[in-house]
Structure 1
Amino acid sequence: MQQWPFVVLSFGLLWLSYCLAIDFCEIKACQGMPHVGCNNSMKFDQGCLRDRRLVKMEMYRSYFLAMHNTYRQRVASGEIGGLPKAQHMPELVWDIYLALVAEYHLKRCLRELNDVCVATDDFPEPAVNYGDDLQARALHLISNMRQVTFLTESWLHEVYQLQSIRTETAPRAIRHIINDRAAHMGCAAGQNYDNWNVRFVLICYYDVDAPRKQNLYTSGDFLESQCTAGRSQRYANLCRTLPKYVQNMSVGEYWPE
């Protein structure tokens, strides 16, 4: 047990170095297109409403993952009527760089980002879900938990609109959420408001979009043999996903038995 402080410290230092490793000005997948994060001041754009507030996503990270993966599990297990089971759908895990790209996007106060790159070193073509709620300003602002729940559920409930698992027939948000090629996600949320209006925005990026004119996932009974890292420890019908920072390390060295 005496080795644990050293292990935790070593892992923490490696994690810190990993977080600082990316240079958004040098993302190869951008192919010369300016990246939304290159030389970014991390400030809200002047086009936003007068007052701005960023939600601390650390408080909601597990909540977002649980909401997404619960629906993935329901689809994969065949619980959603009319949809086939999924053979090897992975659980979603958090990716810090996708979350950072989401924050850059959020602070532009734009629904669509045109003529800018949103790739990361690991994910050249991430997909995005955008949700917002614009209301007249009340005496008290609606809680962040209520807002993120409302917007996330509006995406998730699109699953009940699906008539098939063909990509071209799926609404945009649920297409990203139950795409079995995707295994990583990152989100950002915030408010911008003035004396009259309050706009709450939630943006989530996923590592890859579903391919066109194909199925959202491979149908069939769950096959653990098709899971690279085995079965998920939390979701019986999902494959386990290792975060990128673990995949890029010698896992056994830093997670002793």
Structure 2
Amino acid sequence: MGTTRSNGSLYTSIVNKVATVEFGHPASNSFVADLLKRLGKTLNELSENDAVHLIVLKSEGNRAFCAGASFDELLAVDNITEGKVFFNGFAHLINAMRNCKKLIIGRVQGKAVGGGVGVIAACDYVFAAEAAAIRLSELSIGIAPFVIAPAVKRKIGVAALSELSLSPNEWKNAYWAQEKGLFSKVFVGMDELDRELGIFAEKLAGYNPEALEEWKKVLWEGTGNWDTLLANRAEISGRLALSEETKKVLNSFKK
């Protein structure tokens, strides 16, 4: 059973040099600001933990992987400062994943929307289930996926990002996501996925940790400007979230 906590849940376990980090929220594992902050802090701590060679990032339950940002918190944004802070939550998390010294393996059991797709894109390797369809819905509510776009584009390229973002009501299936490079492997069932993920993580965690750390730096080359870039993107999103057009759409959803 998933968490009922309104500020979400976050659990970490470390076994055989592999840290498994599991986040959850009753609203389809969406991210409230507090949960984003706690997850970023956890990754920062694990980055410096010598007992950890590898991180597996997963979400609670057997349904949605992540519904993106908290809809209720987006509705509550009332001024430009609040808007920037709201969207900076994902900026800080993606940068924490980027800067983490340990490779991050994503486990995606179900659908991901918006910021959830950004989190997947910021993983270094991703095991996904057939049920893991993805969607970037931002344009349909009057904003756009500005903050997560650099992470998604890095994985799937501009053409696929265009296809995904410009059809905000269309789900792309797991095999589309694998073909474009977002998912590394796709499995029919979760039992097989978890078995293969366990074998993969055990092997990877057994390699020279210094080599893994140095190789991660290479994989993320060219992203050194993301602290500034993602903060600037958060400002654009915050401004658009306050626009009359967006507020009208959001209020119609609320009703």
User: TM-score, with normalisation over the residues of structure 2?
Assistant: 0.20
Larger Rg: 1
Tell me which protein shows more helix as a share of its residues. Answer: 2
- Bigger relative contact order (CA 8 A; separation at least 6): 1
User: TM-score, with normalisation over the residues of structure 1?
Assistant: 0.20
